[in-house]
Structure 1
Amino acid sequence: MLVEKNVPLQSCNTFGIAARAHTLVRVRTPQDVYDLLADHRLARQPMFVLGGGSNIVLTGDVKPVVLKMEIMGLRLLEETAQAWVVEAGAGENWHDTVDWTLSQGWPGLENLALIPGTVGAAPVQNIGAYGVELQDRFHSLVAIDLATGRPFTLDAAQCAFGYRDSVFKHSAPLAEHEGGGLPGHWGRGMGLAGRAVITHVRFLLPKAWRPELGYLDLERRRAEAGVARPTARQIFDWVCEIRRAKLPDPAVIGNAGSFFKNPTVTPEQCQDIIARDPKIVHYPMADGSIKLAAGWLIDACGWKGKTVGKAGVYDRQALVLVNRGTREDSVTGGEVMTLAKAIQTSVYERFGIRLEPEPVVV
């Protein structure tokens, strides 16, 4: 277990916000977690799990003990007549993991290419793109209970996946905290936020693969290429091209990806908005609700390309907030949240819709 003090975090978050961790523990094996919990001085302190830093906004120095997840490893855990079960360490780069599965001949994750971050963060956020969510390819995960030090496994139902949501984003009721351990079954309404650290994630990749081309951008690429049935690698390449054309590279322009969730409304609410704004981008959902494009709502309010302090709205995609500062004079988390709140106010005043941020604010 490697423990460091007063660690700069600017290179550990994709927004490039300058902040420091009072204490940082590099977790490279599950044993490092056990060693941490055996250290009574550290174990008593609050903890914050940090993966690739692609979905956080740091508003100041981080006082909880930062667990920097660096557990590596990729392997085929099991193969059946129906599917491959692949396991990845929580510290593996997500995009590189997707690329690796395809190179092994195991398709299924290609629509999720180029999403920034690490494998361990993927189920927390239930990441998704171009018609596929993590829950669609999820088998199970392994985590460690930070209260008891015991490892446990969760399947998809126990993770309580939702739209950019999971059991890891919610706190448990007080009575469960007082109990000192995890109950035998987890479901919606429960919570593991701050109570567990994910060490490995397993994916179920069906052998009866079929391309997911439900999004217009992908269908347009397929038509342009004149390919009736694209391969998984072709879809991977198309997704990478589309994302690079629309979204800024965090290595060049600091950002946390899509900053707001796409809101859902009832069909009646959608019709009311269409009556006032016929061009609004919307998608019908399987449950009968309507998903609205948050980027369109923000753009319609005139925010695309605008800047507040050193925080700005990306000029190619209004859903992305960016760092317009420099490494020496970076945007602050306060500036980012000031801009985010101004956008939320504008959208609510015009459309009556409250946008919910995706990133975790620390």
Structure 2
Amino acid sequence: MVVEKNVPLQPCNTFGIVARAQTLVRVRSVADLQQLLADQALARGPFFVLGGGSNIVLTGDVKPTVLKMEIKGLRLVEQTERAWIVEAGAGEVWHDCVAWTLAQGFAGLENLALIPGTVGASPVQNIGAYGVELQDRFESLDAVDLITGQSFTLDAAQCAFGYRDSVFKHAPSPAQGQGGLPRGMGLAGRAVITHVRFRLPRPWKPVLGYLELERRRAEAGVDQPTAQQIFDWVCDIRRAKLPDPAVVGNAGSFFKNPTVTPEQCADIIARDPKIVHYPMPDGSIKLAAGWLIDACGWKGKSVGKAGVYEKQALVLVNRGQGADSVTGGEVMTLARAIQTSVYERFGIRLEPEPVVV
């Protein structure tokens, strides 16, 4: 366990916001967590779990003890006739994990290529892209209770996955108590993920439902693309639409795509026939948040050093640099202004994806 004081967090968040952690603990094993929780000074918490810093907005210095998750490891756990079960440490870079599975011949994660962040954050957010969500490829995860120090395992049902949602995004119930860790209840701030296992299907079938992927397939003249081809197409599409955080600070898609009833969608279409929308299996309609924001005239606009990306209105970016970086306050002021515009025009409340600290 490595404990550091007064640590700059600008390199640790993809928005590039200037902030510091009063105390930062580098967690490289489950034993590090147990050592942390055995330390009377550190165990009191509260804690803030930090992975790749790709889904957070820092609005000031972080007072809770920062747990920087750096647990590594990639391995095949089991091979059956129907699936490969692959395990990854929470500190592995997500995209590197996807690339590794493909290199080993384990297809299934290719649609999720180039999503920023670490493996440990993937179940928290139930990440998804191009027709695949993490829950579609999830087997189980290991975590540690930050109060009792006990390790435990959760399956998909216990993670309570939803659209960009899971049990790890909800606060514990007061009735949870200090002794055990009842399943199916909020675990935000209560537990930290250490390892994640994926169930990658055998035989593999490509997921090509999204228009951009179908267009790539048609352009390539390929009837049955390989997983590697889909991986390459997804990377090309994302690089063309989204800014590289190493060049332009950002937290990826800033707002969730809202869902509405068919009746609400029909009402909006009557006023705005070009609105981008997708029918969902449960009968609801998903609207493209980026389209809504663009329709309100925000693409390319700025508030202070916070801006809306010129190529994709769903992405807020850092127009500052170095010590003269955007502040979390500027980012949230811009986000609230966008929310107000979309609500006033469409009657829809956009919900931010990143965690605001």
1:243-292 deviations in Å (ceiling 9; x for gaps) = 00000000000000000000000000000000100000000000000000
Question: How far 1:202 moved relative to its partner?
Answer: 0.2
SS of corresponding position for 2:316 = strand
Question: How far 1:132 moved relative to its partner?
Answer: 0.1
**Distance in 2, Cα, partners of 1:248 & 1:181:** 44
**Distance in 1, Cα, partners of 2:322 & 2:193:** 31
CA contact (8 A) 1:108 1:209 kept: yes
1:109-163 deviations in Å (ceiling 9; x for gaps) = 0000000000000000000000000000000000001111000000000000000
Question: How far 1:207 moved relative to its partner?
Answer: 1.2
Say yes or no: does 1:256 pair with 2:255: no
Which residue is equivalent to 1:162?
162
SS of corresponding position for 2:42 = helix
Which residue is equivalent to 1:93?
93
CA contact (8 A) 1:284 1:291 kept: yes
CA contact (8 A) 1:48 1:67 kept: yes
Question: How far 1:173 moved relative to its partner?
Answer: 1.2
TM-score, structure 1 length as denominator? 0.98
Letter in structure 2 aligned against 1:192:
L
**Distance in 2, Cα, partners of 1:296 & 1:80:** 43
User: Which of 320, 328, 339 is 2:315 aligned to?
Assistant: 320
Which residue is equivalent to 1:301?
296
Counterparts of 1:178-189 in structure 2, within 5 Å, are 178-183=177-182, 185-186=183-184
Which residue is equivalent to 2:31?
31
TM-score, structure 2 length as denominator? 0.99
**Distance in 1, Cα, partners of 2:289 & 2:5:** 40
CA contact (8 A) 2:21 2:66 kept: yes
Question: How far 1:68 moved relative to its partner?
Answer: 0.1
Which residue is equivalent to 2:280?
285
**Distance in 1, Cα, partners of 2:232 & 2:263:** 38
**Distance in 1, Cα, partners of 2:323 & 2:82:** 53
Which residue is equivalent to 2:140?
140
**Distance in 2, Cα, partners of 1:180 & 1:54:** 33
Question: How far 1:206 moved relative to its partner?
Answer: 1.0
Counterparts of 1:41-56 in structure 2, within 5 Å, are 41-56=41-56
**Distance in 1, Cα, partners of 2:83 & 2:279:** 30
Say yes or no: does 1:356 pair with 2:351: yes
Say yes or no: does 1:246 pair with 2:241: yes
Say yes or no: does 1:117 pair with 2:117: yes
CA contact (8 A) 1:131 1:213 kept: yes
Say yes or no: does 1:149 pair with 2:149: yes
Which residue is equivalent to 1:275?
270
Superposed structure 1 runs of 4+ greater than 3 Å apart: none
CA contact (8 A) 2:147 2:178 kept: no
**Distance in 1, Cα, partners of 2:207 & 2:81:** 22
Question: How far 1:181 moved relative to its partner?
Answer: 2.7
Question: How far 1:179 moved relative to its partner?
Answer: 3.7
Question: How far 1:319 moved relative to its partner?
Answer: 0.1
Question: How far 1:204 moved relative to its partner?
Answer: 0.3
**Distance in 2, Cα, partners of 1:172 & 1:30:** 22
Letter in structure 2 aligned against 1:349:
E
List runs of 5+ in structure 1 lacking aligned partners: none
**Distance in 1, Cα, partners of 2:180 & 2:186:** 12
Question: How far 1:208 moved relative to its partner?
Answer: 1.1
SS of corresponding position for 1:40 = coil
Letter in structure 1 aligned against 2:198:
F
**Distance in 2, Cα, partners of 1:194 & 1:16:** 24
Say yes or no: does 1:171 pair with 2:166: no
Say yes or no: does 1:7 pair with 2:7: yes
CA contact (8 A) 1:145 1:181 kept: no
SS of corresponding position for 1:97 = helix
SS of corresponding position for 2:99 = helix
CA contact (8 A) 1:140 1:203 kept: yes
% same residue: 82
